Structure 1
Amino acid sequence: MPRPEHYRHRGPTRTTPGVPLSVVHPEDAEIRAVYAEYLAGWNAHSAARQAATLADDADVVGFDGTQHHGRLQFAADLRRIFADHAPPPYAGTVRSVRAMGEETAVLTAIAGMPAPDGTLHPDLVAVHTVVLVKDGRRWKIGVFAATPALRSAPADAVAVLAAEFAG
């Protein structure tokens, strides 16, 4: 079914070659480090480490649509997940970091769960949208949403995302 005209994007997209992905945020490195630590917590199967990147009242929507409300609930839910099985590691490529105010930023990334041989299955490619808030002098994740690329984009767009992820 074709999309209505008002949903069609007419300008360059973030996957358009040669178009800059991000205007440098003054605290770009700190914000990217929070996202990297979030993924590192997952990869270490450490609910505490991953939850430490979240604001107390954070909302997280996982790849499967599971919703977690608050840092403590998120940590408890992840402890149960990690107790039952060892999920594959995540790898992510930050596409952009931009300010939404003095103490709010949005980070977007392409993420996936590569196989041990480095191949990336298109069904495991996701777009991460992360809203970060300044908590004193530190950035924390206020909202984290993982959107499966398979459900949100045509097959050719998923291939472009997978290629961008692979670098």
Structure 2
Amino acid sequence: MIGGISIGYEKQTVIEAIYNQLITAWNERNASEMAGLFNEFGELIGFDGSLAKGSQEIFDHLNPIFRDHPTPPFVCKVKSVQFLADNSAILRAIAGMISPGQQTINPDLNTHHTLVTIKKGDTWKIALFQNTPAQFHGRPELVERMTSELNELL
């Protein structure tokens, strides 16, 4: 319950669907589709720390990446969806990538995904997507555990 409003499975499914659309757009290397999922103030923080704000800047950031680099596809697992209010939610996921020519997850590219969504009217949009490297410095067992968990999805 949030403020007397019960948050049901249907809303969680909507948030997961937005995340899946984002990942599909990445995997299809479609900057326009990906940027279109963000609201006018939306922010994208990339794996290398790059920051892009607003749909146009997000598109301008992603388009040359997709055009000039063979970006590996994501393999993802949603870990949680948490509603902050009836019109906002945070999704947390883990993700890995399969490097070109490989069949399994490259542990050097493991990441935590954080997605913040906001509903305006009847439409949910992304306010923030952050892609944080999951290197677990000095704790190789955590890298191994995450990589194994993601490889199970293949």
What TM-score does the superposition give when structure 2 sets the normalisation length?
0.86
Partner AA of 1:149 in structure 2: A
Aligned to 1:86: 70
The answer to whether residue 47 in structure 2 is matched with residue 63 in structure 1 is: yes
Aligned to 1:146: 131
Deviations 1:9-39 (A, max 9, x none): xxxxxxxxxxxxxx96550111111001101
CA gap 1:37/1:163 in 2 versus in 1, 3 angstroms: same
Mean CA deviation greater in 76-85 or 41-50:
76-85
CA gap 1:25/1:106 in 2 versus in 1, 3 angstroms: farther
Aligned to 1:32: 16
Determine the C-alpha separation between the residues in 2 that align with 1:122 and 1:111: 10
Mean CA deviation greater in 149-158 or 122-131:
149-158
Question: Given that residues 98 and 106 in structure 1 are in contact (C-alpha distance below 8 angstroms), is that contact kept between their aligned partners in structure 2?
Answer: yes
Question: Given that residues 60 and 69 in structure 1 are in contact (C-alpha distance below 8 angstroms), is that contact kept between their aligned partners in structure 2?
Answer: yes
The answer to whether residue 108 in structure 2 is matched with residue 123 in structure 1 is: yes
Partner AA of 1:57 in structure 2: F
Tell me how far 1:131 sits from its aligned partner. Answer: 0.8
CA gap 1:74/1:29 in 2 versus in 1, 3 angstroms: same
CA gap 1:49/1:153 in 2 versus in 1, 3 angstroms: farther
Question: Given that residues 24 and 97 in structure 1 are in contact (C-alpha distance below 8 angstroms), is that contact kept between their aligned partners in structure 2?
Answer: no
Aligned to 1:47: 31
Task: Name the % identity.
Answer: 32
The answer to whether residue 133 in structure 2 is matched with residue 133 in structure 1 is: no
Structure 2 segments unaligned to the other structure (5+ residues): 1-6
Runs of 4+ with deviation above 4 angstroms: 23-26
Kindly tell me the number of residue pairs found equivalent between the two proteins: 145
Question: Over aligned residue pairs, what C-alpha RMSD do you find?
Answer: 1.9
Determine the C-alpha separation between the residues in 2 that align with 1:24 and 1:160: 31
Partner AA of 1:53 in structure 2: L
Determine the C-alpha separation between the residues in 2 that align with 1:152 and 1:69: 29
Secondary structure in 2 matching 1:88: coil
What TM-score does the superposition give when structure 1 sets the normalisation length?
0.79
Deviations 1:102-122 (A, max 9, x none): 111010001111245431111
Question: Given that residues 136 and 143 in structure 2 are in contact (C-alpha distance below 8 angstroms), is that contact kept between their aligned partners in structure 1?
Answer: no
Aligned to 2:84: 100
